[in-house]
Amino acid sequence: MTTANKRVAIITGGASGIGRETSLQFARKGDRVVVADFNEAGGQETVRLIHELGGEAVFIQVDVSNQQSVNALVQQAVDTYGRLDVMFNNAGIGGAGPVLEQNMDLYHKTIAVNQHGVAYGIMAAGRKMKELGIRGVIINTASVFGFLASPGTFAYHATKGAVIMMSKSAALELAPYGIRVVAVAPGAVDTPIIQGYKNAGMLDSMRAKVMGGELTKPETVAKSVYLVSLDEAEAITGSVVMVDQGYASFK
């Protein structure tokens, strides 16, 4: 495959956790990666790690809660590499807090990042793929907590439920252009968001409800995201792919 025909993947939240590991996974497989994050230092570190692997990547700073910033991200990626094949809308924050004790600033920030950020990514990538005539794939990070309730994460549940339905709706509308839209639903993944629940006593409970008794590694989720992105997965669209070690079933 020539450089011009190599796939190009934008990965938001690429400075850490699932986003970093997915960036590395795509780079290992020969794709060109646009690492996107608000955290410039972390994003540049991901790019450095990709370059160490011999991969090709650039960092673009983005605020996914701002539609103009997301639009600019997609345009800059295409200006840099000439195409867009994969959009992984992965950036997210925890948004913990009981329903009757919501910090409204945090509530609105959680909605803006986790829900609006995904919506902006779907719109910007979908328009660009349609314009370029690319049969691409848009992958969105949902969660088992888009299906299952637990105390203290009211806003987070709301956003992840929204991601699931936005993915299904967008898949229906973008199908005529050959653009797939898929949600992945991780369970208890060992990321900074999950580690933030240490003081809430949730980690031991999470470990008890997954196959093997350990939190899912971010690189495990990254491998599933990559598989969903392949042409061999062409029949998977409008679906929610559970990447949870059975968490939703065992709960």
Give pLDDT tens digits for 147-203: 988 888 899 999 999 999 999 999 999 999 999 999 999 987 666 555 555 545 555
Which are the catalytic amino acids?
156
Q: Are 244 and 185 in contact (CB under 8 A)?
A: yes
Averaged pLDDT, 77-95:
96
pLDDT at residue number 187: 82
Which CATH code for domain 3-190+217-245?
Answer: 3.40.50.720
Averaged pLDDT, 69-94:
97
Q: Which residues, listed in sequence order, are joined to residue 243 by a DSSP beta bridge?
A: 186
Taking 60 as the threshold, does the pLDDT of residue 206 lie above it? Answer: no
Averaged pLDDT, 105-126:
97
Averaged pLDDT, 76-97:
94
Q: What are the boundaries of each domain within the chain?
A: 3-190+217-245
pLDDT band (50, 70, 90) for residue 208? very low
